[in-house]
Amino acid sequence: MGRLENKVAIVTGGSKGIGEAIAERFVEEGAKVVITARHTEEGEALANKLGENALFIQQDVSKKAEWEKVIKETLDQFGKVNIIVNNAGIGVYADVEQMDDDNWNKTIGINLTGTMWGIKLGIKAMKDNGEKNSIINLSSIEGLIGDPDLFAYNASKGGVRLMTKSAALDCARKGYDIRVNSIHPGYVVTPLVEHLMETDPKVKEHLISLHPMGRLGKPVEIANLALYLASDESSFSTGSEFVADGGYTAQ
């Protein structure tokens, strides 16, 4: 307990799945957490469950103005920002020939542009607070390897991977006490993946077969990695990729 004592975090896409698990772990470890998501009902329910150290704010991460609103309300409520977890994301199966404007623009807007605003405005809010700070970007194994059916998702998550390194180097050279790292999960049992598996039992078998450990990941396993990166325990880690994929990319 207490690994994030006196820290204030913003977790996007925090109402379910990996984001929900991260918000719960952060509060357990002493942080005050602002949960953001597009869907108000789920986010407010989670914030109420987590108690006085959690706050929900509705947000479309692709919009700069909504990022500015979230950071202002966080500062007004809790006085500072120390941690930003850019977790909000979408993924739609489509290869390059199936790609259309809607899929491309939504995927890039949420996954890449949304993360960019979180990094940029997060640095602005953190750089002069005199404390140790951390920005954690949820990329994916799809930011490390290619998938012919995830053209836009590959582009967005690969962009998150290198954008992370660029921001980390910029903060380091300017002497900001802000670390920037990326997490690359394999397939994790979240509502989205569960829906895919329910539609076709063969999908579940296939996804499990991709992971040498013989199972999919659990949201809390990704949350535990985020906890390490959010805490001062990871004080010498920046611009790095942290993979949690059951051996998927080791093959």
What residues are labeled active site? Answer: 153
Phi (first) and psi of residue 9, to 5 degrees: -125, 150
> Is the distance from CB of 212 to CB of 248 less than 8 angstroms?
yes
Q: Which residue has the tokens 């582009």?
A: 155
Continuous segment of H or E residues that includes residue 68: helix 64-78
> Is the distance from CB of 7 to CB of 19 less than 8 angstroms?
no
Q: Which residue has the tokens 């611009």?
A: 239
Counted residue by residue, the chain has a size of: 251
Continuous segment of H or E residues that includes residue 151: helix 151-173
Q: Among residues 195, 87, 175, which one has the least CA distance to residue 133? A: 175
Q: CA angle 5-29-126, nearest 5°?
A: 50
Token pair recorded at residue 66? 């909504």
